[in-house]
């Protein structure tokens, strides 16, 4: 439950329905009213490759599904930096619902907000290096 601990203003809880965090795990992120777009997003872990530092997941319920999107698959790539740390590359592939229009400005807001969340999580993990080893 790292997300509600580090970002309580945005995540109220995380509920695990299946699995222990590995491939096949199904978990639901429950959001606070700060997220005006949706109250939860349920995701399935599709791949974890520790050697390549890749994490893939599919949103299977909630979130933007049924509102503007019919499918959403994402991949996080953690690329090491020479000077230490890493860069996170977040790639999302989606299918829109027929007639749905995506707001590019809103997409940029989500990207910036997500980047700020990653920074906050990074700061927490660096300050508490033994918690999630």
Give me the number of domains the chain comprises. Answer: 1
Q: Which residue has the tokens 């997500």?
A: 114
Query: Cα dist. 99→38, 58, 107, 117 in Å?
Result: 20, 22, 18, 31
**Is 132 a member of any domain?**
no
**Residue 133 within any structural domain of the chain:** no
pLDDT at 109: 83
Give me the pLDDT at residue 89, please.
92
Domain extent at residue 48 = 2-127
For residue 122, which of 75, 63, 78 has the smallest C-alpha distance?
A: 78
Which CATH number covers residue 33? 3.30.530.20
**What pLDDT is attached to residue 13?**
96
pLDDT in tens, 23-48: 999 999 999 999 888 899 999 999 99
pTM of the model: 0.88
Is a pLDDT exceeding 70 seen at residue 133?
no
pLDDT value of position 59: 95
Q: What confidence tens digit (pLDDT) does each residue in 60-119 have?
A: 999 889 888 999 999 999 999 999 888 899 999 999 999 988 888 777 888 888 888 988
Give, in order, the Cα–Cα distances in Å from 10 to each of 2, 14, 35: 12, 12, 7
**DSSP string for residues in 27-58:** EEEEEPTT-SS-SEEEEEEEEEETTTTEEEEE
pLDDT of residue 129: 85
């Amino acid at each position: 439950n790292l997300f509600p601990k580090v970002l309580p203003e945005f995540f109220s809880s995380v509920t695990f329905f299946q699995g222990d965090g590995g491939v096949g795990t199904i978990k639901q992120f429950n959001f606070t009213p700060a997220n005006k777009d949706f109250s939860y997003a349920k995701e399935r872990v599709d791949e974890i490759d520790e050697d390549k530092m890749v994490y893939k997941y599919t949103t299977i319920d909630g979130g933007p599904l049924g509102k503007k999107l019919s499918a959403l698959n994402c991949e996080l790539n953690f690329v090491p930096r020479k000077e230490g740390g890493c860069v996170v590359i977040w790639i999302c592939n989606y299918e829109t619902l027929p007639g749905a229009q995506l707001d590019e400005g809103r997409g940029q807001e989500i990207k910036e907000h997500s980047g700020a969340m990653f920074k906050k999580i990074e700061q927490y993990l660096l300050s508490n290096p033994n918690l999630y080893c």
